[in-house]
Amino acid sequence: MAGIICADTLQDGAGNSTAMDNAIYGSAKAWVNFGYVSSAITVRKSYNVSSVTRNSTGNYTVTFSNAMADTNYVAIPNSLAVPAVQGGFCSPWAATSSAIGTTSSFIIATYNNGASLQDNTVIVAAVFD
């Protein structure tokens, strides 16, 4: 059964309410938890992500199941190198040659603490549009 719910405000049983804009624009439109483990991409959990591809060492393309409305979305990535001998906590960034990516995908680059590209075992990202 398909249907439409049209409301201006959401309210819980305790009377706490929020505008629908908060629910629509404040929710992640995609997220992923993956890593490069034993020479393969392992996607642990995801939402609205159809695939993760390793382009080269420390360089990954995350592809959406459903495209973003435009390329002005925000992708917030982070990663952790395990074990610590790989360089400890890393600071990846989402980037392509233009802006953040396309409406259908974006790139995450992961680095070690020496600023060299590195494959990491735990990589996460959330996308807001």
Encode the chain (129 residues) as per-residue pLDDT tens digits: 677 877 777 787 888 877 777 667 778 999 999 998 889 999 999 999 999 999 999 889 999 999 999 988 888 888 876 655 555 455 555 544 444 689 999 988 888 777 788 888 889 999 998
Q: What are the extents of the domains in the chain?
A: 36-128
Residue 2: its pLDDT value, please? 78
Q: What is the DSSP string of 36-78?
A: EETTEEEEEEEESEEEEEEEETTEEEEEESS--SSS--EEEEE
What pLDDT is stored for residue 10 in this prediction?
Answer: 78
Instruction: Give the contacts of 84 (CB within 8 A, at least 6 positions apart).
Output: none
Q: Is 18 helix (H, G, I), strand (E, B) or coil?
A: strand
pLDDT of 82 = 61
Q: Return the residue matching tokens 């993956």.
A: 34
- Structure confidence at residue 84 (pLDDT): 56
Type of residue numbered 103: T
How far is the C-alpha of 109 from the C-alpha of 71, rounded, in Å? 18
User: Are 64 and 30 within 8 A, CB to CB?
Assistant: yes
Is the bond leading into 92 cis (omega within 30 degrees of zero)? no
